[in-house]
Structure 1
């Protein structure tokens, strides 16, 4: 497969996954901002997506003080914000258009319809649609596109590069969301009776944002706590959005690609997957949650760069 084609497929998938992840992030922050804030302003919670995506300075340069309505528009539908949901969808559609001959008609029609409706929503504004309904719609459209991909695309290299994009983006998102919540809440109290309502709803919201609340309830007893939530989202191979599940998929996909060019990416993915397989949550906590996550965000980024250099750069 030509590097340019592989790159378009890979980035189409990354932007689609990013749009879904941003919608999950925005939805949980908006929901938490409506709850009592223990004397803090709900704008602090709404600012979380700006901090996670590194767009706070860009927002302040154009809009000044934090304002709920402006922040929601900036993050969701602002054409001038490169990290907005609107621009993620525009980029995904542009990449898909470039490789229409390598994806199925079901995939193209789904994504194109998604983009046309996104433009209509942008013209109407979020006030008429509602932020929660909008985020749910983005997630549903992403699910439909993924279902069309899995259900209709031949298991060729095109499929493999699409899946690579999905899991690189998903791994990065899981790490960043967990890190942001941990930085906000810190370590759990040693007193098991001291689990505050705020901590319970924060950790529960994170689990719901990553579609892992039911998995947590099935595996663990009691309220969500930092160590248990981290163990589930970092090390459990059976949770689809966990870091380990993503890296297992990446290792297997890269191993299935033929040729010698990909050896650096294959080796790095295998090292990361093996490291997680033999890591316990006690080791993570001993290192320090933030430090451990920061290291793995960097390593996932290194893997993304290795994939880019091995397969996607035009010679």
Structure 2
């Protein structure tokens, strides 16, 4: 496969996953805005969401007030924000358009259909659009696209480049969602274990469509350690860090077999996977959850850079 085609498929997948995560961040913000304000943190002024999204400085340069309406607009509709749902879906569609012949008609129709529906949202008066409607639409649309990929695409190297993109982006996004909760949303360490702490953990699980799966896996009392274990180290939950890296490793190993070589990207992903597979939640909390997540984000970013250099700027021979 040409590196140009692989690059477009990889980034199409990353933008689809990123759009979903931005919607999930908005959902977290919307749910937490309904909680009572106890002061001392970022929770009710929404800056936590922008901080996790990596767009706080960009937002402050454009908007005067970090109020919910401005942040909703910035994260969903703002074309100047490369992480907004609008920007991500536009970029996903553009990447798909360039390599349309590498996609099944079902995948293209799902992506293009979402693009057209998003244009309808843009033409709708903002006061008539509820945040929950926008986030639910995004989750449905991205799920449909992924479903079409899984059920109609050949398991060729193109499919595995898409899978690599989904896996890398999902690992980054799960770590960001976790970091919002533990490092930013909780105003003060004295609230750890409180009713507010518990409510925020439940909100996080719900925003990741993980609440029921968590209860199946860990019946009984909810705790930060159990949730961290579930979202970081549980192989069966598809949005966990370990699951995302395992997925990425599997796709990169398949690509390596296709081209008959072991690449630096495979070596890097195997290192991350080995560390996660041996990790214990106690060790993570001893290191500090925020510190662990920041280190994972750096490793995942290095992996993405290695994939780009190895495959997407000239395929291995």
**Which TM bucket (shorter chain)?**
over 0.9
Runs of 4+ in 1 over 6 A off after TM superposition: 40-43, 186-190
1:120 aligns with 2:124: no
User: Which shifted more, 275-284 or 124-133?
Assistant: 124-133
Counterpart for residue 138 of structure 2: 138
Provide the rounded CA distance (Å) in 2 between the counterparts of 1:41 and 1:256.
Answer: 45
In the alignment, which of 212, 218, 224 is matched to residue 222 of structure 2?
Answer: 224
**What residue in structure 2 maps to residue 243 of structure 1?**
241
Which stretch of the first structure deviates more once superposed, 40-49 or 229-238?
A: 40-49
1:102-121 alignment runs, 5 A limit: 102-121=102-121
**Residue 188 of structure 1, CA deviation:** 7.6
Cα separation, 1, equivalents of 2:105 and 2:49: 34
Task: Go from structure 1 to structure 2 and tell me whether the alpha carbon gap of 1:224 and 1:125 turns closer, same or farther (over 3 Å shift).
Answer: farther
Q: Which residue of 2 aligns with 1:71?
A: 71
CA contact (8 A) 1:11 1:92 kept: yes
- Once the two structures are TM-superposed, the CA of residue 39 in structure 1 deviates from its matched residue by 4.2
Distance across 1 between alignment mates of 2:127 and 2:42: 19
Aligned 8 A contact 1:262 1:307 in 2: no
- Write out per-residue CA displacement over residues 158-208 of structure 1, whole angstroms, 9 at most, x where no aligned residue: 110111111100000011111121113389879xxx832211110001111
Q: Secondary structure at the match of 2:30?
A: helix
Correspondent of 1:200 among 192, 198, 220: 198
Deviations, residues 136-158 of structure 1 (Å, cap 9, x unaligned): 01000001001111111111011
What secondary structure is seen at the aligned counterpart in 2 of 1:38?
coil
Q: Pick from 213, 221, 242: which aligns with 1:215?
A: 213
The alpha-carbon deviation at position 36 of structure 1 amounts to: 1.2
Whether the aligned pair in 2 keeps the contact of 1:216 and 1:229 (CA below 8 Å) is yes
Cα separation, 2, equivalents of 1:309 and 1:125: 44
Answer yes or no: is the 8 Å Cα contact 2:43–2:187 preserved in 1.
no
Unaligned 5+ runs, structure 2: none
Q: Deviations over 1:269-312 (max 9, x none)?
A: 11111111111111111222111111111000111111101101
Structure 1's unaligned 5+ residue stretches are none
Which residue of 2 is the match for residue 15 of structure 1? 15
Q: TM-score, normalised by structure 1?
A: 0.93
Corresponding residue for 2:251? 253
RMSD: 2.1
Whether the aligned pair in 1 keeps the contact of 2:42 and 2:187 (CA below 8 Å) is: no
Offset, 1:224: 3.0
How far is the alpha carbon of 1:221 from its aligned partner? 3.8
State the distance in 2 between where 1:296 and 1:216 align: 22
Q: Is the 8 Å Cα contact of residues 43 and 66 (structure 1) preserved in structure 2?
A: no
2:32–2:43 contact (8 Å) kept in structure 1: no
Q: Who is 2:282 aligned against?
A: 282
Distance 1:311 1:254 in 2: 10
Query: Is contact 2:181-2:200 (8 Å) kept?
Result: yes
Question: How far apart are the structure 2 equivalents of 1:142 and 1:150?
Answer: 12
* Contact 2:41 2:187 survives alignment (8 Å): no
After superposing the two structures, state which structure 1 stretch, 47-56 or 87-96, moved more.
47-56
| In structure 1, distance between residues paired with 2:199 and 2:162 | 34
Determine helix, strand or coil for the equivalent of 1:198.
helix
